[in-house]
Amino acid sequence: MNMEYPQSPPPPPQQRRVALPSAPPRVTYAIIGITIFIFILQQAGKYFLGYDLAAFLGMKINEAILAGQLWRFITPVLLHGSLIHIGFNMYALLSIGTGMESRMGHLRFLMLYLVSGFAGNVFSFYFSDAPSLGASTAIFGLLAAEGIFLYHNNKFFGQRGKKALSNLIVIAAVNLMIGMSPNIDNWGHIGGLLGGLIFSWFGGPRWEMEGDYPLLRLEDSRNTGDAITGALIVIGIFGTLALLKFFV
C-alpha cells in the first residue's frame, strides 16, 4: 500500500540587499521653487497693477494660441489661480516627483514633466475653449509614469507592486471624477495623463538585475535616446492634434 506523506513546505524566499538607481530630486525642488516664485509675481501684479499680468501673458487662452502665442502650451504649468491651487499641486509634485526623479534621473524627469504639461494643454486647447492654468496637467503625467514604472518593473515588487498600481489607478480615476466639477479643466488632466503614459511607455525606467551576489544592483536598460524617442512621439501626436485645431 502506498502512503502519502505531507510535503515539507518550500523554504521562505530569502531577502537580498540590492543597490537601486537613485538621483537627488533637484529638478523637483527647482520646479517647486520657480513655480512659487512666479506665484509671488502673480500676486504682486494683482497688488500693484490691479490684474494678474503673469497669468494674462502665460495662461492657456485659445484665441492667443491661434494668434501664434505657442508658448502657452507650456507656460500654464507654472501659473496658479489661488494659494489652495498652488498648495495642492506643489504638494502632489513633491509627493510623486521626489521618488520619480530618483529613479528617472534629472533630465528624463524634466522631459516627462514638460511633455505631460504640453500634452495636457494641447488636449485642453483642442477640446475646451475655456482659459486654464495650473501644474495638474504635468502632475497627471507623473501619475501615469508611476503606473507604467510599476507595470514594467512588476517582477521586482511582487504583490506590493500590484497593490500600489491598483491604488494609483483608483487615485487617478477619483481625481478625474473630481475634475468633472465646474471650473476644473479635466481635458487638461486627461491629456497630461496620456502624455505621461506614452512618454513613460517608450522612455521610462526598465530595471534589470546586474552583478553577482552579494554585489547586486538594478540598472536601467533605458537610456537618454529612449527618453528622447518617447518625448518626440508625444510631441508628434499632440502637436498634430494642435495643428488640426488651427485648420478645423
**Catalytic residue positions?**
136, 189
Separation of alpha carbons 146 and 95, rounded Å: 12
Nearest to 203 by CA among 163, 140, 144: 144
**155 CA to centre of own chain:** 23
Looking up cell 488636449 gives 123
Separation of alpha carbons 159 and 206, rounded Å: 18
Separation of alpha carbons 237 and 71, rounded Å: 18
Backbone angles phi, psi at 229, to 5 degrees: -60, -45
The DSSP annotation for 123-159 comes to: HHHHH--S-B--THHHHHHHHHHHHHHHHHTGGGTHH
Looking up cell 496637467 gives 137
Q: Are 207 and 219 in contact (CB under 8 A)?
A: yes
